[in-house]
Chain A
Amino acid sequence: MTARVLAGLFALAAVMGARPAPRRPGAVPAIRAAADSFPHARHAKLFTTCASCHAGVITGDSARFLPSPELCATCHNGELVRAVDWAPHPPRFTNVLLDHARHLAIFARTGVAPEHACQRCHAPADSAGFMIVGRADPERCVSCHGRGAPSHLVQRSCEPCHTPLHDAPALAVAQIRAFPRPPSHDSTWTLNHGSAATGSTCAVCHAQQFCAACHVNARSVGAIQGLAADDRVATIVRTETVTYPRPPSHLAAAWPRQHGVVARAGIAECANCHTQQSCLGCHRAAERVMPVLALPRRSQGGAAGVDLSGLKPADHLPDQLLRHRVVAAGGTGSCNVCHRPAYCVSCHDAAKAPGFHGPDFVSRHAQQAYAAEAECASCHQTQVFCRSCHRSLGESNTGAPIGKFHDKQPGWLFGHGGVARRAIETCAGCHEQSFCLKCHSAVGGQGVNPHGNHFDPSVQGKNMATCRLCHGSSVPSR
């Protein structure tokens, strides 16, 4: 049973892992070489010219480009030679622009014998024997057209030989998907192709949808709009996952703080990969970063753009919830880049933030207040907040004899001083100042001195009005 479950899990994992691999923009699978379907070499001694079978190549009659089965059957009739079941392959659709007659004429002008003209393209090398031929190898083309180039894929321009994709409607999706990847389209190509994408060469392999799979600003980029739309390309990109490479500048540690300068200098550059939603992952863009409004919005069916959701500044460490004051204390600027004041209020709200303290804090808070596990007065105005509720519930001083509420301490009246010094804020949560002055006042109370051993009158003397609450007009100087 366990084995079955494990096998099932492995199978499930295999299925889930069978998604198409993430593709870097511009990546195209390598081309597969086509095999020659006719054994040319075995007929080398039979035919003296290629035109014996491929007469249409010379005359331009496409119906006679390839020999018919009947022509083969003149020999392969089962009597003279064994019968064969050979038929010319169906017309092969390509985007290659090739004029055989023109090439033959050029070869003729340059003195190439007609019987050798075909081999200049269809043989693997000039030195190959007669009828050692197959499908024309593009690398043979560059022996004339490439001025010594090592590969036909390094050509800067493809149009002389290839028609734009849009003009090759017969090409199948699989053929387009199998287009070879030029050496220029290496790992750095994605980040640097912009300067090269100015001519019509791109259109040989690419259509609008290919660029729009990554470029969120495809609709405003002239080079992309210059490409034709193509449903076959749309089919290809729909099945592939786009991952955006990070430019070297974005890898710098200081980039989160410095990117604003770059963005302000030229937001259009950012718009290649970033939508407004990218920025909204952190910025409240519309209000604070007006240039972001120049970015395109994420559109349905369009490129998703770089997803920065969940990105946090480097200083937002795991204890950020408890330690963020070091950042917040710096003033208005840093937090407000990402957060509205209302976000802070969602927790730092004396009257309306039940989620901050946890369940039923109303009943539990006394212990935390006594121990001063947090400074209640930072967020709660004790007179308004604590005392109003305690008074409403009858827990504040309500006329009961002193000590009746603190009934677990029989000697509370005489022992409360030490507790008060430890947790004076909790006293203020219930008691008005006048309550304490009933005893601790020099003029209206019992004259019980509340000052501790280290009391410095000069400190409180900075606000004499408070001194007068107890001492009246006769505030002692010492």
Chain B
Amino acid sequence: MRLRAWCGTVALALAAAASGTPLAAQAVRLHGTTTTQYVELRPIVYDSTANADTGAYVSLPVAYAAPFTQDLELSAWGFGVTGLRAYALVRGRAALGSSLIWPQSDTHFEALYAYLELEQPRYLLRLGRQQRSSGLGFYGFDGLTAAWRPLAALRLETYGGRGLARASMESFNASAITSLDPLRPDQGTILLGASVWAAPSPRSTFSAIYQREILSDRSGLVSERAAFDGRVGVGTRLILSGSADADIARQQWGKAQLSAMVLLGHGSSVEVEAFQYRPALDLSSIWGVFMPESHAGYSATATVAAARDLSFTGAYTYRHWQPLSSGSPFLVDVGDDQNELTLGAHGRLGAWALDGSYHLELGFGGDQSAGDLAAAYAPEDGWRAGVQATAFQQTDMFRVASGTVYGLGGNVRTPLTSRLGVSANLMRYFHRRLTGTTGVDWNQTRLSVTFDWTMGADADRVGDYR
């Protein structure tokens, strides 16, 4: 049924696009992205007879996944009412002979957006499937959004409808989710929210959002959250940012951050930040009753633009958890801190670009050291051909799965016309195992090929920031 609906939508869209030469009062644009991936992985399985019958994880033969994704974006406007448009972004998925299940590849049709929108200078109405992105994360719903803009820099908005599972386009009680977690509620949710956004100056922005999610039979609360984000420009050099979200249902603060960035001019800047992290877990699962702890930390980031096309970046982050080892003698070498260091450089000479970075993490969860290097020939006409190399070493804290991996590959992007582009990326990773059998073999080949095309009315905003 889903596949049939998807095919019907595609057929309608293609028919509309085929006749999509802009008419006097109507225009249709269809934009598609076709992506095919090839991913090699080597699963593991527990063998109770291995390791002298004491049991151990062993590797299975190399398997592969070949997920195919077709995104179709449809925009239609000019229905005789200024500001009225229809928009849909739908996705079709398939597994091309995969021997592994790639996440969501068995969900053959998904509507990321599908709405009718009326936008006027002072207000906006949007009806249909939509997503709400904010400090609370991504929430999708089928319903109505109404926005009122009494001033150019003030927007009040409310939204609500049938809720979807958080960060997913599946309904809250979809079989795709309940099959992986049978204890989820067997009913859907209703999502309601409101937000305010104000920008008193070009560099100062504030937003606040409140959102409530209840079971569709109103028998229980799923989540009740609020978030605040603010950014203030002080003079021309200093930017202060702050954000926080609160789990009102659990009566506790979630994530929060406060930062100050100094713009040194010519692309150089320094930023310091303090933050706290606590996961947001809704009341419909048992995860929250384990009373997750928060952690806090700070970071400092410096970007130095040594020349117009040469910049260096360095960042250090420190995280701290409540002491654990003292209360749990059963854990080995589990520290309470984590240190993270990132160094990067970007240079460009004409059409040639060179990027390099190094990332080091030491602390809770394990240790990781990784370096990446990429060189590309990328003239301004959109063509790009590059090579990339990577190497990383990591040690897990809770299982023996250490290893060193080297990777080498290339990428190419060819805008054949203004409405058709092809890009491809190939990487081969070589795993040099150090110890352990619990981890997955990281010897992998990864390939992705993407076609990006546009049909119908004038191409949308050009460039990367569409």
Contact = CB atoms under 8 A, between A and B. Distances in A.
A421 B290 contact: yes
B321 interface: yes
B289 A364 contact: no
Given A341-B131, A465-B220, A329 B227 contact: yes
Contacts of A328: 133-134
Interface in A417-449: 417-425, 427-428, 432-434, 436-437, 440
A415 B328 contact: yes
B251 A456 contact: yes
Interface string B432-466: 00001010101010101000000001101111011
Interface stretch (B4-12, B13-21, B345-353, B387-395): B387-395
A363 B243 contact: no
Given A345-B89, A384-B176, A451-B291, A418 B331 contact: yes
Given A381-B165, A398-B45, A329 B183 contact: no
Nearest to B93: A351
Contact of B388 (A329, A359, A462): A359
Given A333-B149, A381-B167, A463-B284, A450 B180 contact: no
B461 A283 contact: yes
Given A367-B368, A393-B41, A394-B44, A286 B330 contact: no
B82 to A, nearest CB: 5
Interface string B162-203: 000111101000001100111111000000000111110111
Nearest to B154: A330
A383 B180 contact: yes
B229 A341 contact: no
Contacts of A281: 461
B290 A330 contact: no
Contact of B289 (A284, A319, A450): A450
Interface string A333-359: 110001111111100101110100011
Interface residues of A, number: 128
A315 B289 contact: no
Interface in B330-378: 330-332, 334, 338, 340, 361, 363-368, 370, 372
A134 B102 CA distance: 92
A283 B134 CA distance: 22
Contact of B324 (A329, A422, A454): A422
B100 interface: yes
A452 B119 contact: no
A459 B286 contact: no
B170 A408 contact: no
B100 A280 contact: no
B97 interface: no
A103 interface: no
Contacts of B461: 280-284, 338-340
B376 to A, nearest CB: 13
B285 interface: yes
B279 interface: yes
A319 B46 contact: no
A300 interface: no
Contact of B147 (A332, A398, A408): A332
Interface in B260-289: 261, 263, 267, 269, 271, 277, 279-281, 283-289
A254 B293 contact: no
Given A287-B75, A330-B207, A338-B465, A415 B155 contact: no
Contacts of A318: 261, 263, 267, 269, 303
A470 interface: yes
A325 B135 contact: yes
- Among B153, B182, B205, B365: residue with most chain A CB under 10 A: B365
B253 to A, nearest CB: 13
Given A371-B365, A389-B102, A309 B133 contact: no
Contacts of A477: none
Interface in A372-429: 372-373, 375, 377-381, 383-385, 387-389, 391-395, 398-401, 404-415, 417-425, 427-428
A127 B220 CA distance: 107
A345 B197 contact: no
Contacts of A352: 35, 69, 71, 91
Contacts of B133: 325, 328-329, 344, 348
B303 A325 contact: no
Interface residues of B, number: 168
Contacts of A423: 365
B224 to A, nearest CB: 8
Contact of B330 (A363, A414, A453): A414
B109 interface: no
A253 interface: yes
A333 B147 contact: yes
Contact of A460 (B135, B167, B288, B364): B288
Contacts of B271: 319
A398 B429 CA distance: 27
A393 B46 CA distance: 11
A399 to B, nearest CB: 7
Given A371-B365, A394-B57, A418-B324, A384 B103 contact: yes
Nearest to B42: A393
Interface string A133-166: 0000000000000000000000000000000000
Given A288-B119, A326-B205, A392-B100, A428 B287 contact: yes
Contact of B363 (A329, A371, A391): A371
Nearest to A424: B292
Given A381-B165, A409-B330, A286 B27 contact: yes
A313 B199 CA distance: 12
Contacts of A381: 165-168, 170, 177
A389 B101 CA distance: 7
A114 B360 CA distance: 99
A178 B198 CA distance: 55
A425 B295 CA distance: 14
Contact of B286 (A385, A410, A469): A469
Contacts of B100: 392-393
22 contacts: A315-B231, A326-B207, A328-B134, A333-B119, A340-B87, A345-B89, A360-B446, A372-B279, A379-B137, A384-B103, A385-B103, A392-B43, A398-B46, A404-B46, A411-B329, A412-B398, A413-B330, A417-B328, A424-B292, A427-B287, A466-B284, A466-B285
- Shortest beta-carbon contacts, A-B, top 4: A330-B197, A370-B365, A411-B330, A415-B330
Interface of A: 253-254, 256-258, 260-261, 264, 276, 280-284, 286-288, 290, 309, 313-315, 317-319, 323, 325-334, 338-345, 348, 350-352, 354, 358-360, 362-364, 366-367, 369-373, 375, 377-381, 383-385, 387-389, 391-395, 398-401, 404-415, 417-425, 427-428, 432-434, 436-437, 440, 450-456, 459-460, 462-466, 469-470
